[in-house]
Structures are given as C-alpha cells and as structure tokens.
C-alpha cells in the first residue's frame, strides 16, 4: 500500500480525512494545503483550536465524523475487496486531478489492475442521460467501442442509460474502461449494475473518492462528475436534458480547459435539448469516434473526410458536366441551345458532345443531340440524390 515518496503515516492520515471530509470540499482542501495532512488530522481529532472558517455547526460535524473514523479498518476492508488507496505523491496518482485545486480528492480508492495514471493520459469521458432513448444507447455504445478500438480509455459513471451503454460498448470489444463511482468502490451502485461494475473491475478500473461501504447521495453524484471531467482529455455528452448531471460534467470539463463535445439528437427531443444548448456554446459537434479522436488526439489523428457517394457525372471534367447538364431530360436540343445552357461557345459544345458520345452519355440525331437511355437514368438518379 505504500508509494514512492508517501509514508505509511501520511497514507493513513489521508484515509482518515477521506472519512471526515466530503468529496469536493474546497474549504477542507484549503485547510489541507495550508496546514498539512498531519496538522489537519490533529485538529479534527480534537487537539488544537477549531479550523479557520468553520462554523460552530460545521466544526461539530467534523469532530463527530473524526470520532467515528477508523482508517486501519477502512484499509483492511478495501484490501479485502481488492482495492487500493492512491494519494498525491504516488507514482500512480493521475496528475490531471491536481487541476481541481483545493477541490482535488484527498485520495482515490481503486479496484482493478491497470495503472490509473497511464490510463488517464489517453482517456475520454462519455456521459449522458440515465433514461436515454434507444438512439442514445446505440450512439454511446458505438462511439465508446470505436474509441476503445483506437486505443483510448473510456471513462463514465457506471449509471443506467448512456453510462452503462458506453461501458458495455468498450467491454464488448475488449477495450479499456473506467467507472467513477459516487460511493465506496466495494459497494456497486446502482445495484442493477453490480455485475457490470464487477466486469469493469476485472477488465478495467473502478475508482471513487468515498471510503469502503459509503453510500451515494445526490450531492455526491454531482461532485463525482468533476473527477470524470478532470481525469480525461475531453467529455462527450450523448443525450442530456436541460437539467442533467451530464451537463455538470461537461461544464466542469470546460472550466478545466478540457475539450467538450456533444452528439446531436432530434431537434424535437427533450433528452437532446441540453446537448444542443452545449453545441450552441463552445462544445464541438461529433458523430463518431474518429471525430472525437481528431479533437482530443495527437497531431495527425484526423477523421476521414465526409463525402457523399461518387455519382457518374463526378468523373467528368467540369466543362463536360456543364454541357451534359444543359441537355433536356427528354427530347433533343440543337447545339446553339445547348451552348447557351452550358454558358460556352458552340465550337466548345460540339467538342464536348462528341466526348460525351464516346462515353455513352449522348447520341446525335441529325443536327440535334439527346441523352442516351442509360444517361437519362443516370442523370435522373443523380438529380434525385444531389
């Protein structure tokens, strides 16, 4: 349980503080920064004056929590569930979390064999609505699987809906995924995802700030989202209503200077309204994994150009296409009429018509020209598709 540069005593003190301070407590983070771990533990344990800035009620609550804290028991319970406790200074500590400033986690409980720091360096968050549509689940799973196949780690919250679809999409292709929980990592939540979270712990990583056995609360879900945003290079939102925890993650990513992306949905869908609001701001529209990687990846990881199908007339030179387009869909036309329609000279038109005849597009009828039957079908099809 020891790490480079971190003493057993400091690790134990941080386990203690993880039980006393709530996730994202910036005042607690300031105490930790200004007083140091040892002094903060000493004060919370009733030795010394109350902490600066803490109200009488707050101080009483902290002391009560400190009185019940048992860091040795928490470490033993974590080890029994296959979890470890990382702290700043460990070789495995993901440096991105330091961007949270005083809101940085006191420590991180981790289940899984992979190296958190290494995985976080090449990771993307995929989040969205719990009550997602079939479209949302499909897009989340497909996008997450595509990211995994490109060597990216997909981070999400382990919840129902988009989160679960993203995790399953990665697991389905044998990729790497991380679930960031708002409860103890030994206590999977939601209960219906116990098996999924177990699979993630075996194939990927399950992480969280809360000590073993701790339960989730609405505020803990919200604060958990800042960890998802900080761990990753960017956040993709797939379906989110105006009031959605996924938008909290996206806004946290924006504050941290991370990339924020959204997958658009139907204009009439309330579940995509929050995503569309993001896209009207600074978020970037993405539709697949290649577009996500182009944004968050290294230079040169470009998405392929988006093009429609190659139509027969696309293979012609522009001048020949103009002459072809000037012929009527049915019946014949004289050279001067075709030239006017194509905006060129009659001599040039005659040359282009003979070129088109050699390719099977047109045929001559006396002094007039008309489309061949095959060309009529082709041009008609092209016009419908263009």
Give the confidence band of 47 by pLDDT, cuts at 50, 70, 90: confident
What pLDDT, on the 0 to 100 scale, is given for residue 113?
Answer: 94
The residues near 354 (Cβ < 8 Å, ≥ 6 apart) are none
Tell me the pLDDT band of 386, cut-offs 50, 70 and 90: very low
pLDDT, residue 373, reads 79
Taking the C-alpha atoms of residue 347 and residue 319, their distance in angstroms, rounded to an integer, is 13
**Is the separation of the CB atoms in 327 and 370 below 8 Å?**
yes
SS3 362: strand
Q: What is the mean pLDDT of residues 22-29?
A: 92
Please report the pLDDT score of residue 157 as a whole number: 95
At 294, give phi and psi (nearest 5°): -60, -35
Structure tokens at 343: 């905006």
Strand partners, 181: 208
User: 362-371: buried (b, 16+ CB within 10 Å) or exposed (e) per residue?
Assistant: beeeeeebbb
Domains of the chain: 72-296 (3.40.50.450), 312-385 (1.10.10.10)
Strand pairing partners for 85?
109
Mean pLDDT of 292-300: 80
3-state secondary structure of 235: strand
What's the whole-number mean pLDDT along residues 226-232? 97
pLDDT for residue 2: 42
Q: Range with the lowest mean pLDDT among 158-162, 178-182, 349-353?
A: 349-353
- Token pair for residue 367? 């002094």
Token pair belonging to 14: 């941080």
DSSP secondary structure string for all residues of 55-75: -HHHHHHHHHHHHH--HHHHH
d(CA 217, CA 24) in angstroms, rounded, equals: 14
d(CA 170, CA 153): 9
H runs (alpha helix) in the chain: 8-20, 26-35, 37-44, 56-68, 71-80, 116-120, 134-149, 162-172, 194-203, 218-231, 245-255, 273-280, 289-296, 318-326, 335-342, 346-358, 373-385
CA angle 382, 384, 386 (to 5 degrees): 65
Examine the pLDDT at 311 and tell me if it is beyond 70: no
**The pair of three-digit structure tokens given for residue 119, joined into one six-digit string:** 């995985």
CA nearest neighbour of 167 among 176, 253, 232, 195: 176
Percent of the chain surpassing pLDDT 90: 68
For residue 297, give the 3-state DSSP assignment: coil
Short-list 248, 311, 306, CA closest to 274: 248
Between 3 and 351, the higher pLDDT residue: 351
pLDDT at 312 exceeding the cut of 70: no
Helix, strand, or coil here: 294? helix
- Owner of token pair 């282009």: 352
356 vs 173, residue with greater confidence: 173
Measured between its terminal Cα atoms, the distance across the chain in Å is 64
Higher local confidence (pLDDT), 383 or 69: 69
Whether the predicted pLDDT of 248 surpasses 80: yes
Q: Which of 224, 36, 8 is nearest to 125 (CA)?
A: 224
Reply yes or no on whether the pLDDT at 383 is more than 90: no
Residue 280 has pLDDT above 70, yes or no: yes
Average pLDDT, the chain: 89
CA distances from 141 to 144, 145, 146, 254 (A): 5, 6, 9, 24
Residue 188's pLDDT is 85
Per-residue pLDDT, 135: 95
Least confident of 32-46, 197-211, 294-308, 347-361: 294-308
How much is the pLDDT for 356? Answer: 87
**DSSP reduced 3-state for 284:** strand
pLDDT at 118 over 60: yes
SS3 call for 3: strand
**pLDDT at residue 309 above 60?**
no
Question: Rounded CA gap, 154 and 175, in Å?
Answer: 8
Kindly tell me if the per-residue pLDDT of 197 is higher than 90.
yes
| 238 pLDDT higher than 50 | yes
Q: Is 165 helix (H, G, I), strand (E, B) or coil?
A: helix
Q: What is the mean pLDDT of residues 282-294?
A: 94
Place of tokens 């005083």: 102
Strand partners, 155: 125, 178
Q: Would the CA dihedral through 163, 169, 172, 177 be positive or negative?
A: negative
Q: pTM for the complete prediction? A: 0.78
Locate tokens 């869909």: which residue? Answer: 329
Q: Quick check: 225 pLDDT over 90?
A: yes
Count the Cβ atoms, other than its own, within 10 Å of residue 330.
Answer: 8
């Amino acid at each position: 349980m020891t790490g480079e540069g971190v003493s057993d005593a400091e690790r134990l003190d941080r386990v203690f503080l993880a039980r006393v301070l709530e996730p994202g407590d910036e005042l607690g983070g300031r105490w930790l920064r200004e007083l140091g771990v040892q002094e903060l533990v000493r004060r919370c344990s009733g030795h010394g004056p109350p902490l600066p800035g803490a109200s009488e009620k707050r101080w009483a609550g902290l002391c009560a929590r400190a009185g019940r804290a048992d860091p040795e028991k928490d470490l033993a319970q974590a080890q029994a569930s296959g979890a470890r406790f990382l702290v700043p200074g460990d070789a495995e500590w993901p440096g991105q979390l330091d961007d949270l400033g005083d809101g940085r986690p006191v420590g991180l409980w981790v289940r899984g064999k992979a190296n958190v720091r290494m995985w976080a360096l090449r990771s993307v968050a995929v989040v969205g609505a719990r009550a997602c549509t079939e479209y949302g689940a499909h897009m989340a799973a497909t996008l997450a699987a595509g990211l995994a196949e490109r060597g990216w780690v997909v981070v999400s919250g382990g919840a129902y809906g988009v989160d679960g679809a993203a995790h399953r999409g990665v697991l389905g292709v044998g990729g790497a995924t991380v679930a960031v929980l708002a409860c103890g990592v030994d206590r999977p939540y939601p209960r219906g995802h116990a098996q999924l979270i177990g699979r993630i712990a075996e194939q990927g990583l399950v992480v969280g700030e809360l000590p073993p056995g701790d339960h989730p609360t609405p505020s803990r879900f919200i604060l958990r989202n800042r960890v998802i945003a900080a761990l990753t290079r960017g956040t993709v939102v797939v379906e989110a209503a105006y009031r959605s925890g996924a938008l909290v993650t996206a806004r946290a990513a924006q504050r941290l200077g991370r990339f924020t992306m959204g997958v658009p949905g139907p204009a009439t869908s309330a579940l995509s309204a929050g995503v569309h609001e993001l896209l009207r701001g600074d978020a970037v529209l993405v539709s697949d994994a290649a577009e996500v990687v182009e944004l968050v990846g290294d230079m040169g990881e470009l998405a392929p150009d988006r093009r429609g199908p190659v139509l027969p007339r696309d293979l012609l030179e522009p001048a020949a296409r103009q002459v072809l387009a000037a012929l009527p869909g049915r019946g014949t036309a004289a050279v001067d009429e075709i030239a006017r329609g194509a905006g060129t000279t009659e001599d040039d038109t005659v040359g282009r018509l003979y070129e088109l005849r050699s390719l099977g597009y047109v045929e001559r009828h006396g002094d007039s020209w008309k489309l061949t039957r095959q060309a009529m079908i082709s041009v008609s099809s092209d016009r419908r598709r263009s």
